[in-house]
Amino acid sequence: MSKDIKILAIESSCDETAAAVVVNGRKVLSNVISSQIDIHKKFGGVVPEIASRKHIENIALVVKDAIEEAGIELNDIDAVGVTYGPGLVGALLVGLQYAKGLAYSINKPLIGVNHIEGHISANFIQYPDLKPPFACLVVSGGHTFIVYMKDYGEFEVLGQTRDDAAGEAFDKIARAIGLGYPGGPKIQEMAKSGDENAIEFPRAKFHDNSLDFSFSGVKSAVLNYLNTMNMQEKEINRADVAASFQKNVVDVLVDNTIKACKIKKISRIAIAGGVASNSFLRKRMIKSGKENGIEILFPEPILCTDNAAMIGSAAYFEFKKGNIAPLDLNAIPNLKLGER
Ligand code: KG4
Ligand code: ZN
C-alpha cells in the first residue's frame, strides 16, 4: 500500500480565511473557516481592501487551528496547497504568501490550486469513490459554468455566463428587496413563503445549441418591477419576488445542465460552488435527473461555500500529477479553469 498523502490547504480568495488538512484528496481531518460575512454585510458586499486586512489578521491562527484540529504536527504534512486564482488579488496574495513561507520553512512542496477546480473537487470529498468523467455545474458568487471533467485536472467548458454569475444575481436581488448580504441563503429562506409563479420574469435565450447563461436580463427585470411597483405606490410581496426570481434562475441552471448532458451523452452531474447549497436547486436537479436518467451529486453545504478542504482535495490530484509550483508563484485574479 502506498503512503497516505496529507495536504495542508489554504484558501483566501474572497471573504473566508480557511485552512484544512486533507488525506489523499478525500478524507478531511480538519476544515477551519473564519468568515468575514459580519464585517462585509454592513457594506452590502465584499470590500476587497478590508478582506485583505482581515485575512492578514486571521491567517496564522486559522492555519494553527487546522493543524491542531487534525491532531498532527506541521512536519507530518506532505505538501502545502493554496488557491492562487481566480479571486481578489489582495486577498489571494495573503494566503499565497503565507503558504509559500510555510512550504519553504518546512521544506515541503507547494501546490497552486485553481479555486474553481477546488469547488468541483468538493465532490471527491463527499463521494470518496467518485472518479471522472462527469459534468459539473459550478455556481458561485463569481462564476457560472457547465464543465465536463474528463480526468483529474482536465476540463472542457461547455457553457458559461455571458454577464453576471448566478450568486451575484442572488446577492443583487437580495439587496434590492432589503435582505442584505449574502443574498443566496436569504432569498432561499424568504422564497419558502412566496408563490414561485406569482411574477413571470424573462429568461435569456441564445441559439439552440448554446449552453451559455445570462442573468443580467432577469436582474434588470426584477429591479424594473420593484421600481414600477414603488412608483405606483403598490405594496411589494417580497416573498413572491424572491420565489419567482429563484425559480427563474434555477430553471435556467437545471435546463441548460441537463441539455449539456444530453448533447454530450453524460449520465452524471455534480454541482458545486456556493449556490449549489440552494435547496431549491438541489430538489429541481434531482427531479430532472430522475426524469432523464442522470445521476445527481452534490457536496454538503459547508463544502459548497468557500472552504479549504476542497482546495486540499484538488491539490492532492495536482500533486499526484507532479504539478509542484515554484516559490515565485504569483496570484492570478482571472485564472482560467484548466490553465496553470
Ligand atoms: O462559492 P462561494 O462561497 O464564493 C465564491 O467563490 O463566489 O459562493 C458565494 C455565493 C454568494 O453569491 C451567495 O449568495 C451564494 O453563493 N449562496 C447561495 C446560497 N448560499 C450561498 N445562493 C443561493 N442559495 C443559497 N442557499
Ligand atoms: Zn468560491
User: Looking at residue 43, what DSSP letter applies?
Assistant: G
- 168: domain CATH number? 3.30.420.40
Based on its alpha-carbon atoms, the radius of gyration of the chain, rounded to whole angstroms, reads: 20
pLDDT band at 45 (very low <50, low <70, confident <90, very high): confident
List strand residue ranges (DSSP E) for 128-235, in order. Answer: 134-139, 144-151, 154-160
Mean pLDDT within 80-103: 98
Q: Quick one: what percent of the chain has pLDDT higher than 90?
A: 93
Mean pLDDT within 186-205: 96
Q: 112 has which bridge partners?
A: 82
For residues 304-331, one letter each, b for 16 or more C-beta atoms within 10 angstroms of the residue's C-beta and e for the rest, the string is bbbbbbbbbbbbbbbbeeeeebeeebeb
> Do 14 and 80 lie in a common domain?
yes
> Do 118 and 166 lie in a common domain?
no
Please say whether the beta carbons of 217 and 204 come within 8 A. yes
> Do 110 and 144 lie in a common domain?
no
- Tell me which of 263 and 339 has the higher pLDDT: 263
Domain presence at residue 117: yes
Q: What is the pLDDT of residues 162-177, one digit of tens each?
A: 999 999 999 999 999 9
Predicted confidence (pLDDT) at residue 208 exceeds the cutoff of 90? no
Residue nearest to atom 14 of ligand 1 (CA): 184
By residue range, what is the domain housing residue 258?
Answer: 132-301
pLDDT at site 1: 62
Domain presence at residue 205: yes
What predicted TM-score, i.e. pTM, was given to this entire model? 0.96
Domain presence at residue 329: no
Mean pLDDT within 14-27: 97
Predicted confidence (pLDDT) at residue 21 exceeds the cutoff of 90? yes
Mean pLDDT within 138-143: 96
In sequence order, the 6+-apart residues with CB closer than 8 A to the CB of 57 are: none
Predicted confidence (pLDDT) at residue 235 exceeds the cutoff of 90? yes
> Do 105 and 141 lie in a common domain?
no
Q: What is the pLDDT of residues 266-290, one digit of tens each?
A: 999 999 999 999 999 999 999 999 9
> Do 292 and 308 lie in a common domain?
no
> Do 201 and 227 lie in a common domain?
yes
> Do 272 and 159 lie in a common domain?
yes
- Tell me which of 1 and 7 has the higher pLDDT: 7
Predicted confidence (pLDDT) at residue 205 exceeds the cutoff of 90? no
Residue nearest to atom 8 of ligand 1 (CA): 274
Q: Could you tell me the distance, in angstroms and rounded to a whole number, from the CA of residue 287 to the centre of ligand 1?
A: 22
> Do 172 and 27 lie in a common domain?
no
State which of 123, 140, 280, 304 you would mutate to test the pocket of ligand 1, scoring each by most atoms of that ligand within 8 A of its C-beta: 140
Domain presence at residue 338: no
> Do 241 and 295 lie in a common domain?
yes
Q: What is the count of structural domains for the chain?
A: 2
Question: From the alpha carbon of 16, which atom of ligand 1 is closest?
Answer: 3
> Do 110 and 81 lie in a common domain?
yes
Q: Quick one: what percent of the chain has pLDDT higher than 70?
A: 100
pLDDT band at 209 (very low <50, low <70, confident <90, very high): confident
Q: What is the pLDDT of residues 290-314, one digit of tens each?
A: 999 999 999 999 999 999 999 999 9
**CA-CA distance, 281 to 58, in Å (whole number)?**
33
Q: Please list the alpha-helical segments (H only) found in the chain.
A: 37-40, 48-70, 89-106, 115-126, 166-176, 183-191, 216-231, 238-264, 279-292, 301-304, 309-320
**CA-CA distance, 217 to 209, in Å (whole number)?**
20
Predicted confidence (pLDDT) at residue 206 exceeds the cutoff of 90? no
> Do 104 and 216 lie in a common domain?
no
pLDDT at site 280: 98
> Do 271 and 311 lie in a common domain?
no
pLDDT at site 240: 98
Mean pLDDT within 328-333: 98
| Residues by chain with Cβ below 5 Å of ion ligand 2 | 140, 306
Q: Could you tell me the distance, in angstroms and rounded to a whole number, from the CA of residue 4 to the centre of ligand 2?
A: 27
Predicted confidence (pLDDT) at residue 232 exceeds the cutoff of 70? yes
Mean pLDDT within 113-140: 98
Question: From the alpha carbon of 181, which atom of ligand 1 is closest?
Answer: 14
pLDDT at site 42: 86
